A and B are shown apart, each in its own frame.
Chain A
């Protein structure tokens, strides 16, 4: 049987984590089909048909799919589900909102947020904020799986030429209405996929002080993250939150500034390749996961850090 991946996109472009989910889905079974539900999203369907590991693209075009309403998506996906052994999506807010609704209607116990495909029915997933890894085997006939995008490399984007088939929409829900979306526009790299992330915590003391972080982010072409404490205190908006209930990031370099390292924050960043911690409390738990720890007052260390970076002849982008 084949795998059906649900594409995440904005009707113009494929959202980047879809490519990571494609990699995981094709490890489950090579006969991978992608479902694009959208409105005037032909470019999205075309881009996905060019991904070499995709065997077929099913494109459903209707205005009810312009905004992403889980109820409308679900009825369309259920229509196609009988042809597939697995329904797959990324485990970001897109897939987390959508997949359980599908799974319940298929009477399937969903496997959430996998970080490794062991076989068609067996997966590795983190539990307890990543403090334990569980190997789980799904005994349901049809499997619904969401994938932690940062645990899989993005699939190659070009060279393929999968067939695109059109399909009819399903019924729309009358009880849910999209009102608006407030996207945070930024010239910086996306937090989820950035090569370098610099995050601030409660130690920043207020929102204005995040300027010290953003100056360094500009220099390093880094994304800006934050601990839950900093978000809850109102220093910065929630789309920056890294942690168990925020985003999980795996950059090459993660710089934690004024972050003590609560369990739930570590869950979102401890797989980063290189971790730097700057904190004036030498006993802070963040130092236990840091490759390089600097015990210092961040208000002195950050301006120095910027001036040291300015002295370098070259900085990797």
Chain B
């Protein structure tokens, strides 16, 4: 089997987000960037499947500006075999991302496409499902366990009520949840080796898909701030405050 894994470069999850004063977005200059956390789980799962002898090749793909390549390089360092970087200059919407991915899937013919369930910047949670729709492939979203069978996957999904298990025929799209596995760190020798692995560069404009925005971002603002609270000295005071001041118990 061949697995295509999509990774996205986002502002690191530990960074305190600052909104630009002109309301045009959030500050990204000189801000630490890293791979979208559940995308790390997607790569890890692909590598585990390959290590178990059930996949032959892992291709990591990212779509973004020049520096987005770093996320592919990181995927190569933990076990992907080669990379693809589709260059776009602006931020594009999940619908456009899925159209680009569809083109790449048609060229690469993977059996599985893995990616994180949601990017922690736009919090859209759309791309995997959209790609599945465009390809008319089955989708297994929010995966917390994947079992590879003959020409099928048994996937346990995290849903509001608990867990759901479905079986999807291959080819399929899987979006990964954070509890799917524990992503490994790249060792120094593997980081060095990854520098020699190939990354194919493709310009999004050469793929012939419409990636123009459909959604106008009118403004970005800070959420309303909570008013400062107080510290209480004892449990007794806390319970009294909740009973008599906040009146919630």
Contacts and interface: CB of A to CB of B under 8 A. Distances in A.
A263 B248 contact: no
Interface string A91-135: 011101111111111011111110000000010001111111111
Contacts of B234: 294
Given A175-B138, A245-B118, A315-B249, A100 B179 contact: no
A211 interface: no
A293 B232 contact: yes
Contacts of A134: 217, 219-220
B176 to A, nearest CB: 11
A178 B11 contact: no
Given A70-B139, A184-B162, A239-B161, A109 B246 contact: no
A308 B120 contact: no
A292 B238 contact: yes
A316 B243 CA distance: 9
A1 interface: no
A203 to B, nearest CB: 16
Q: Which of A134, A180, A273 has the most CB of B within 10 A?
A: A134
A296 B236 CA distance: 12
B163 A182 contact: yes
B52 interface: no
Interface stretch (B42-50, B128-136, B196-204): B128-136
Residues of B in contact with A, size category? 35 or more
Residues of A in contact with B, size category? 35 or more
Interface in B165-184: 165-169, 172, 177-179
B129 A129 contact: no
A175 B169 contact: yes
B38 interface: yes
Where chain B touches its partner, the secondary structure class is mixed
B231 to A, nearest CB: 5
B111 interface: no
Contacts of B154: 179
A108 B214 contact: yes
A15 B37 CA distance: 30
B90 interface: no
A305 B238 contact: yes
A200 interface: no
Contacts of B34: none
Interface string B108-131: 000000000110111111111111
Interface stretch (B53-61, B66-74, B91-99, B185-193): B91-99
Contact of A133 (B94, B158, B222, B242): B222
A228 B220 contact: no
B142 A136 contact: no
Contacts of B13: 263-264
A132 B123 contact: no
Interface of A: 69-71, 74, 92-94, 96-105, 107-113, 122, 126-140, 173-184, 192, 196, 220, 228, 231-232, 237-239, 244-245, 247, 252-253, 263-264, 270, 273-276, 282, 287, 289-296, 301, 304-305, 308-309, 312, 315-316
8 contacts: A100-B94, A111-B215, A131-B17, A131-B223, A132-B220, A239-B162, A245-B117, A287-B231
